[in-house]
Amino acid sequence: MTGITKLFGTVEALRDVDLTVQSGHIHAIVGENGAGKTTLMKVLYGAHQASDGQINLNGEPVSFRDSKEAIAAGIGMVSQHYSIIPELTCLQNLVLGAEPGPVISYAAAESRANELAKQMGFQFNWHEEASEISPSQGQKLEILKLLWRNAKILILDEPTAMLAPDDADLLYAKLHELTEQGATVLVVTHRLPEVMEHCDEVTVLRGGKLIDSCPVAQTNPAELAEKMVGQAVTEHSPIPCNPGETLLTVRNLVVKGDKGNDAVKEASFELKSGELVGIAGVDGNGQRELFYALMGTRNSSGEIHLGIQNLTNTSTAERIQSGIRLIAEDRHNEAVIEDWSIADNAILGLQRTNRVLAGRSINRNTQAELAKNVTEIFPTKFDNVNQKFRDLSGGNQQKVVAARSLQESPQVVLAFQPTRGIDLYVAGLVYDGLIKATREGATVLVVSFDLDELMTYCDRILVMNHGEIAEVPAELRQDRSAIGRMMVGAE
């Protein structure tokens, strides 16, 4: 790709960007929010048309009018916004848009699907409805969709955002096998350790411009981070934690999973004022169900107390009024209403809290204040608070959702993957925000599948494995492999 420029109206998303990708390599594209990584990939994939510039594929000039032409040329992309339709089965999703013929033999399709899955080391129940599968399974299904379409150049946008460390390593190992067979992989990511460990080359974008492109072996994380941000990045230095009195007490909590099993088994733990506690674990070990139960959106047995207040049988609305806040995992479906404005989403969930409610209607002054707060706590790029939430970029959406959980004096913030889809610098800001809330007396419980993240920021780490919760002893808190063993129940 040479001299790629992309204008959205008058906004310049990409300015004269060159990108050369060697076939058979894993090439990482890194950069801040809004650096143009995804836009550049979408131009390559034919989803956006470049305003200027030229794309050459194997030395031949090409131009794709739409994604269909890109797929025909062997270029496939998994975007951050899933294209999986939940009402269809996994197999139907796999073949959709690239069916073998007017009449589909699902038996034949399934055997080829199994071959592709085996090649990647994935396992699927192909007749399961896609609404039943976890986000990480969804990610894997998306990758298989590309292979089903015989893509030779795979573009993956934040592929490990929802995978546990081991799954991420496995994914890269399989991607390496693919590249050895002649495929080329482009990865948009913000996880620099991943780039250093698994990628062959790296390209840094900043503000829509090419900053640098070099083999990974010739650079280091600090240098990359500096190029991404444009200034030296300071390491997070832990602030000493002074836990106060116990805020949230959970005793013998049992929560049923979707399949009727006990997803959370007799979980008991305490969260103290002033501490940030992380839950490590592989995706699907009951973290989701635990959070649903704590928010009161799923039935559970056991006891939940906030201070002296018994929350066990209270509604979600009462829990929010008591100061429990959630940063939901699935931003699009659980955290916001995308067709609403930023201002309306700013008070969504907080509508019954004292300052927001004025009699039977919404206090518009408080709403305006909250809208201002949620866009300012973490620097958010937006036009005005009345624009649709949908029109914000993924990272900016996450910033608003995270900021909202810190409004109206939270007592307990439940954060599920709070840095999903946002880059290092902003992730640091979000954690700083959460830590600041704890130092002001709240307590924060974070679920993350990124162990390094938890080890960097958390005061204590719990591990969740098959619905059971255990605490990582203080002396092992920086021992990555020990925690990893606890996560899979080997210790």
Q: Is the CB of 106 or the CB of 425 nearer to other proteins?
A: 106
Residues 38-67 that bind other proteins (CB under 8 A): 66-67
Tell me if 330 contacts other proteins by CB under 8 A. Answer: no
The encoded tokens of residue 372 equal 């201002």
Identify the DSSP state of 239.
P
Q: Give the number of C-alpha atoms closer than 13 A to the C-alpha of residue 269, restricted to the C-beta side.
A: 23
Q: How far is the CB of 333 from other proteins (least distance, A)?
A: 12
Q: Is the CB of 95 or the CB of 371 nearer to other proteins?
A: 95
**Segment contacting other proteins by CB under 8 A, of 24-32, 92-100, 273-281, 440-448:** 92-100
The encoded tokens of residue 291 equal 């959070």
Tell me if 102 contacts other proteins by CB under 8 A. Answer: yes
Phi/psi at 211 (5° precision): -100, -50
- Alpha-helical (H) ranges within 241-312 are 287-295
How many Å apart are CA 83 and CA 293, to the nearest integer?
Answer: 29
Identify the DSSP state of 334.
I
Looking at residue 21, its amino acid is V
Contact 446, 478 (CB under 8 A): no
How many Å apart are CA 18 and CA 40, to the nearest integer?
Answer: 10
Contact 152, 183 (CB under 8 A): yes
Tell me if 258 contacts other proteins by CB under 8 A. Answer: no
Tell me if 241 contacts other proteins by CB under 8 A. Answer: no
Q: Is the CB of 54 or the CB of 105 nearer to other proteins?
A: 105
Pairing of strands 201-206, 26-31: parallel
Q: Is the CB of 86 or the CB of 221 nearer to other proteins?
A: 86
How many Å apart are CA 384 and CA 422, to the nearest integer?
Answer: 21
Which of 235, 167, 161, 212 shows the shortest CA–CA distance to 191?
161
Among 5, 53, 74, 88, binds other proteins (CB under 8 A): 88
Among 57, 62, 96, 488, binds other proteins (CB under 8 A): 96
Tell me if 104 contacts other proteins by CB under 8 A. Answer: yes
Among 51, 80, 83, 246, binds other proteins (CB under 8 A): 83
Q: Is the CB of 43 or the CB of 371 nearer to other proteins?
A: 43
Q: How far is the CB of 108 from other proteins (least distance, A)?
A: 11
Q: How far is the CB of 47 from other proteins (least distance, A)?
A: 8
Q: Is the CB of 69 or the CB of 266 nearer to other proteins?
A: 69
Tell me if 106 contacts other proteins by CB under 8 A. Answer: yes
**Segment contacting other proteins by CB under 8 A, of 30-38, 84-92, 228-236, 390-398:** 84-92
**Segment contacting other proteins by CB under 8 A, of 82-90, 234-242, 401-409, 475-483:** 82-90
Tell me if 71 contacts other proteins by CB under 8 A. Answer: yes
Tell me if 150 contacts other proteins by CB under 8 A. Answer: no
Among 14, 17, 95, 424, binds other proteins (CB under 8 A): 95
**Segment contacting other proteins by CB under 8 A, of 93-101, 133-141, 309-317, 363-371:** 93-101
Among 63, 105, 301, 386, binds other proteins (CB under 8 A): 105
How many Å apart are CA 105 and CA 150, to the nearest integer?
Answer: 19
Considering CB under 8 A, how many residues would be counted as binding other proteins? 23
Q: How far is the CB of 104 from other proteins (least distance, A)?
A: 6
- Alpha-helical (H) ranges within 384-450 are 394-405, 424-439
Q: How far is the CB of 71 from other proteins (least distance, A)?
A: 7
- Alpha-helical (H) ranges within 121-233 are 135-148, 165-180, 192-198, 221-229
Tell me if 85 contacts other proteins by CB under 8 A. Answer: yes
Looking at residue 474, its amino acid is A
Q: Is the CB of 269 or the CB of 389 nearer to other proteins?
A: 389
Q: Is the CB of 79 or the CB of 285 nearer to other proteins?
A: 79
Tell me if 260 contacts other proteins by CB under 8 A. Answer: no
- Other C-beta atoms closer than 10 Å to the C-beta of 169 total 15
How many Å apart are CA 417 and CA 283, to the nearest integer?
Answer: 11
Tell me if 84 contacts other proteins by CB under 8 A. Answer: yes
- Start-to-end Cα distance in the chain: 50
Q: Is the CB of 96 or the CB of 357 nearer to other proteins?
A: 96
Contact 86, 129 (CB under 8 A): yes
Identify the DSSP state of 341.
B
Contact 187, 159 (CB under 8 A): yes
Contact set with other proteins (CB under 8 A): 66-68, 71, 82-88, 92, 95-99, 101-106
